[in-house]
Structures are given as structure tokens and as C-alpha cells.
Structure 1
């Protein structure tokens, strides 16, 4: 259904109202007139205060305003107000914040295991929801979200920024245009280095009850890319995984990096006091909730996997081989698509393909950065023809803001909601569900030793084509 949007209307993505029904395009059209979009943020950690906080305040001051900030930690939420330079009230009570401010949109950036609480409650209170990935951490919570959106007249959008990277979009374009024919199989491998990968085990993400394991928290990005690239839903998953590098595997451990007798010998030592922001946001507020940001990544309570491998069968009969390594010497990824007419190979940040002077820590900082000038550069995508020569396609590439995806996602959501997107990059609740269900199925497959069907987990039925 086509509608006329104002410049300040907010476009959500496609979502399924019920399993097996026709796909519908939903829109956040507030009819705001000249007033700004009112936003409330719950979860004032580093991601919430920066990407979904300060950047929006700095870039879109004429389009939106924050009317409330909420966190269970009163110290962090007060810091967030100062860091973001907003004048709104702060809360530790989510429902009270909504009742007193009537936001148009709630942005959820809490710990993954609590996403469903704020999404469901926000929908019940009449708000549209934008949630950080992953949508949630298990199938029961996922079903609660699906049910809540169906009952409400509001919508949920998931902040998948990787889709918006020009490099990833080029891969999508080649696949969409049939350059290799029908896609039959995919090899997709992601490498987290000993700086970034290790950081997950240092934080709350190292506990499966908080983050659902990296099958969900991290790999949801990768599975969403696959679902989008293949334009199909996953059908069945078989997986292996283990914890053999971090956690209790190390012969020594400490209380945390600041208070450890092994700082001179541990190669993973990280000095949080070098970051004023981390100290102000986390260290100074430990007294409120006990959360330690520089925890020991060898603590025995860690219960997630650090090596993962899965085979995913899609409804369109494509088969994917996927792996995630969390202690690689470098951080990067590679993917190869096999089709009836050819093959596509793509990769980013494989160091021996290109001389790179920056350290792994510096590369990660650049990827996460939200400002600065980009240096013009190109990265290759290789297109093979079964009966002919291969072709190298040079694709413009930006390192900052997750390959340029962050700013493009924000522009679509807050600046150009009515602009037609030929690549269907906006992600709704069904997209969020299908990405986490692969990871949830992988966990269950490891635990049971059997393949797990996606249809077993929620009432969503996999489709051959997403559209």
C-alpha cells in the first residue's frame, strides 16, 4: 500500500503479521507535521549512547529529539545524558518513562536477553520499536515478540547495519541480477581476532544467559546477510561448537584486568583506564549494579562457544557452510557463492591479500568509528563464469561505521524513509527472527546432536523467497 510520507515520517521494514499470510510493507508514519520525532532510549551502554545516541543528536537535530533515557544503572544513565548532550529526563523505570513522555519511537539497546521485555512492553504502551541486533536470545522470547507485534498497531525494526555497506550491497546486486544463475551452495567464514573476539568473553556476552552465545549475538549479523543475499529463509541447521580457548581452559585467571597479578605475562591484558569514556561509563558506575567491563576472559563462569561451525539448508535448496572463529590472528571474512552459471568470491580485511599498516586494534577502532573523512579505496569482488574467464569488480569501500553501513542505515530510518530501496535493506521483525533462529537452532543442534528444523522453534514457516 502506498502512502504519502512527510520528511519526518519513519519507515519500518517489512514484517509478517502472521505465519503463512501475505507479506505486507508496514510504515511508521506518525503524521508529525513540523514537530520532531520523539525518541526514548533504553539501555545506555556504549552502543546505545554512541551509535543510537550521540550520533543521532549530532546528525539529525532538526528531525528528532530524545525525550527520555532509561537504564537499570542510575550512574550510567546520568553519564549518558551528559555524553549525548541532551536535556531529557532520566529513568530506571521503563514504564514510567513511556507514560511521562509518550515517545513515538523506543530504541532498545539493553543486554540481549532483556530485549523482549522492552520490545513487548513498548508495543503494549503504543510505541514503535527499533531494536539493536539480535532481536532476542531464544525461541520463546522470539515468539513473545512476534505475538506482541501482531496484537499491536505498531511495528518493530531491527538495526542490521551490515546490509547497508556498499560492498555487501554490491554482492547482493550481483546475486539478485542472476550473474551466477541459481545459487546452489555458499561458504561463509568469519574471523574475530584476539582483540575484538576476546572482548566478547570479557563482557556480559560471555554468559549464554545474557547474550545467547555468539551464535546469536554476533552471528545474527552474518545470518541476516545470508538470508538477505539468498532471498530465502533457512529451513534446517546442523552444528558443532565448543569452548576450548577462553574461559576455564587457561591455567591462570584474575579478578579483572585492573586487579590481576598476571598483567605482565597475560597477552590478553587490557587496560580500561586508558579510555576516559570507558572509565566514566563503566568503572565509575560499578557500585550500582556490579557490572565489570574489564572482566577476566578466563573466568570459569564463561559458558559460550569460542569455535562454531554450522551447515544450513535453505528453503530454496541452497546449502551454506558457515564458521566463526574467535581467536584468529586477524579479523576479516570471506564468502563464496556457487551457482549454476558461475561463482562469486568476496572478502574483507584478509591481511595477506593487501598490505595493511594498521594494527588489529586500530582497524577495529576505525570500523566502529562514526566520524572523520574516508580515504578513497576499493575492494575486489571476483565474478567467475563457468565457461569463461573471471572478472574482477572493484567496489568502493569505506572502513568507518561498519563499512559505511551505519550512516546509510540512519539516513534511511530518519532522513529518507520514503526513498525507494531497490535492495530491500530495511529489516523488520521477521528478518530479525529468521536471523536469530539459525543461531538458536545451531545451539540446539550442538546440545542434541541432531539437525534442527527452523519451523520447530516458532510459528513462522520458512519461505522459498523472502518477498
Structure 2
């Protein structure tokens, strides 16, 4: 019996939302109607990962029936760059009403995610949103309510879960390689190329991106929740802005016209980035968004150093930190358990005696061409009273460590394949990841621990369902 792509997407979304369902053993093709997709938000992530890559890789399975953005110039660029012939809209409801999509993809500014998620669900569509789900607990509750009343479903695009290296960690923890996990040390380092870029953009404003506790760290918190197979229960945090913003020795209107180009180590020449010039600079006149804003501008109001302790509902304790001006970009994690310790890391240059170009490193991670060569990275397991053992994991650098293409394949190509690692992410996953960051912000402001259960009507579970 043939099934529609709408039925397919609903089934996948139900799985992502945590419903206990079995996926039907069928795929796309064979004359079935293509999935009708719309995209709202035509910035760099929307036009590339959720735009051009879908067209390039899955045009036999889906078709874009509408693009939406408040900036008509970016819309025109996006239509050409993605390679579609669909109509464009500056009004979201008009787009959904006229095109009747099966799926709405949301890649707008974080502070607006909730508007389009809720409208999409209420208008009868399944919705896929970029991380983070939203930026505060009130918007989060509104999304939870909308998903419940809509009889539709929401997928959150957590790609880090799908990378082979992250998946191998999950597999080893599932097999109790170190017994029951009791505590975790998790430290993420953003370099002075990638980390600094957040402070040039709208992400530097708390009201737009919720701070990096939410916009960036939601990736890391989702990994923790997934690895530990539990929900966070309480957060205590510290944070400050002491490097960027009004801490700078000088400032200008933007990098292009700044009189301190030769003195500022953070100067970025956007004119050498053709895509940024075409997507952003050429269209500043429509909405005033400046992509190369000064990272020393005084209106920046987010933290640039962050540290938190997270207590999970299963009593695991996590010590987490995020640095935004590290000399190198990478991360390291250690899980302590009743039977040993598991250590993992990526891109720590002195471990391999590598001298990595930090700007090229980020470009390679974002690359989506699929031509990346395989590399092997270690995971160390120390058993109590035994020598340590090393497992080498085959992985690629591009597409966020190979996670991007695997996430897409699961959603659009291989929905019928069972996943023993439960990597599909739905509304509860999205909520629990951002609520750690929201709780961290509140803890910094109050000087007290913040309980996750006080933020929305979700009750933390000692084991995820």
C-alpha cells in the first residue's frame, strides 16, 4: 500500500518526539508524491544546510514550494543560490496558506523561532527547526502547548548526535564500558576566529540569541542529555563579559569602515568573502542588518566566559565550561563511572602535535561537499585496576563531523531504518537542551541554583523515554 510523504514525516516526527512507534519498512520514490517543503529564514544556515544541500541531495524526494524572509534582497539571493523556482514571500502565513506545505523548516533568528514553529503547527504543518528551539522558558512553554494541541510534530535539527565520534561515545556508554556514570567534565573551546564571530552578529545580543548559553551550548547540553540518557534537574552557573563588548580598547561602526583595521587583531575583511557580500552586505539596505559589526560595540550583552554545574535527575553531576576566545577550537570530555573513566576529545592541537589553521578548521567543519577524507580519532577507556584501552573511531571533519549528512538521510531518505542510538530529536529534547542554558542565565543573575522543573511544565526524568 502506498503511503504519502505527509504520513512518512508525521511518523518520523512522532519518533523524534519520543512516541513509542515502529517505523514502517518503506522509503521514498516509486512514484510517491514528493514532500512539499517551505523554508523561513534565508541566512547562511538556511540557504546552505537546509536549502541548497536538500536540493542537491534529495530533489527526487522533496521539493521547495516557498521561501520566506523579511528581507526581499536575501530572498532573491536565496532563491538563486539554493537553485529553486518556487515563489518567495515576506509574509509567513501567506506562504503557508497558499503553498500548503507538508513541512515547514525554521531557520530564522533564534528569538523568532517560536513564532514560526507555533504558526506552522497551528496551520496544520509538521515543523523542523534549527537549534536552539527558542531562547527562554515562556516561549518554550508556548511551543510545548502548540505541539500538544496541534496533533502535529516538531523535529529539532541536532546534527552533533549523528557524527560517528559522538555516536561511538553513546554506544560505549550504553554498553556500560565504565559502569554507571556518576560525573562528567565537559569543556568546549571556541577560538578567536569562530568564537569572535558570534559577537559580530546578532548573536551578541541576549534578546536575539538568548546568549551563547542557549544559541551555542544547546548543542553541548543536548549531547549530554542524550549521552547520559537522563534529563537535567538543577543548574548553578557563573558567567561574565570581560573580553568582548565594551571591554575593547577601541571600536568602530563595522570592520569595513573601521579606522583601527591595522591595530585590531579581530579585524575581519568581509569584502574577501563573496558569499557574505552577496547574502548580507548587498542587502543591508532592506533591514539594516550588518554582518561585520564591531565585536567591541557597547550593546553586546552576552557572556563570553561561562561555567556551570548541572545535576541530573539520575544524580549524575556535570561540570561544564565554554570559552569564546581560546587560541584553538576543540573540546574534551571525561565520564567518570563506577567501573572506570572514559575520555574523549577533538581538535586539541598539541595532542597530535598539529598546527591547525583555525579559520580553515571551521570552514572545513562547515563544508558540505562530501569529499572529506576519513580520519581516526581516539576514545580512551580506563578500567579500574586495569590498563587503559584505546578505540579509534573513523570519522570525517566536514558537515559537523559527518553528522549533517546522516541527520538528513534519516529524515528524508531512510526513515524506516531503526536507530539503536535514538538520535532523532523532538520537542522534549529541544526543550531540555535550552532549559539548561536558561537556568544557567537565571542562576548567574540570582546567585542561586535553578531547578529545571520550575521553568516549564516538563518534569525531569531519571531516564529519557
TM-score, normalised relative to structure 1? 0.96
Aligned runs of 1:11-26 on 2, under 5 Å? 11-12=12-13, 14=15, 24-25=20-21
The answer as to whether partners of 1:186 and 1:337 remain within 8 angstroms in 2 is yes
Among 74, 85, 97, which residue is 1:99 paired with? Answer: 97
Rounded Cα–Cα distance in structure 1 between residues aligned with 2:365 and 2:342: 24
Is the aligned partner of 1:255 residue 2:249? no
Q: 1:113 aligns with which of 107, 111, 114?
A: 111
Q: C-alpha offsets along residues 6-62 of structure 1, whole Å, 9 cap, x if unaligned?
A: 78833125466xxxxx95449899999611000000000000000000000000110
CA-CA distance at 1:446 after TM superposition = 0.3
**Structural RMSD (CA):** 1.9
Aligned partner of 1:291 in structure 2 is: 289
Give the match for residue 195 of structure 1.
193
Asked if the contact 1:41–1:108 (Cα under 8 Å) also holds between the matched residues in 2, the reply is yes
> Which residues of structure 2 form unaligned runs of 5+?
none
Task: Give the aligned partner of residue 32 of structure 2.
Answer: 34
Query: What residue is the counterpart of 1:220 in the other structure?
Result: 218
Which residue does the alignment assign to 1:19?
none
Please give the alpha-carbon distance, in whole angstroms, between the structure 2 residues aligned to 1:268 and 1:365: 17
Map of 1:177 onto structure 2: 175
Distance 1:376 1:56 in 2: 23
CA deviations on 1:100-128 (whole Å, 9 max, x unpaired) are 10000000000000000000000010000
Post-superposition CA distance 1:263-300 (Å, at most 9, x none)? 01100000111111111100000000000000000000
CA distance in 2: counterparts of 1:338 and 1:114, whole angstroms:
39
Instruction: Give the distance between the partners of 2:16 and 2:393, measured in 1 at CA.
Output: 31
Distance 1:26 1:103 in 2: 25
Equivalent-residue separation in structure 2 for 1:439 and 1:322 (angstroms): 11
CA distance in 2, matches of 1:151, 1:391: 50
The answer as to whether partners of 1:12 and 1:26 remain within 8 angstroms in 2 is: no
Deviations 1:64-111 (A, max 9, x none): 000000001111011100001100000000000001100000000000
CA 1:369–1:82 in structure 2 vs 1: closer, same or farther (change >3 Å)?
same
Could you say what secondary structure the match of 1:12 adopts?
helix
Distance 1:26 1:78 in 2: 41
- 1:116-165 CA deviation, whole Å, 9 max, x = no partner? 00000000100000000000000000000000000011100000000000
Matching of residues 144-163 of structure 1 within 5 Å? 144-163=142-161
Deviation at 1:251?
1.8
1:150-204 per-residue CA deviation (whole Å, 9 max, x = no partner) reads 0011100000000000000000000011111110000000000000000000000
- How far apart in 2 are the matches of 1:124 and 1:235? 30
Q: Quote the Cα distance in structure 1 between the aligned partners of 2:73 and 2:48.
A: 17
Cα distance between partner residues in 2 of 1:301 and 1:26: 50
What is the rounded CA distance, in whole Å, between the counterparts of 1:254 and 1:430 in structure 2?
A: 42
1:125 has 2:131 as partner: no
Q: Which runs of 5+ in 1 are unaligned?
A: 17-21
Q: What is the alpha-carbon distance in structure 1 between the residues aligned to residue 23 and residue 445 of structure 2?
A: 40
Q: Check conservation: 2:5, 2:33, Cα contact below 8 A.
A: no
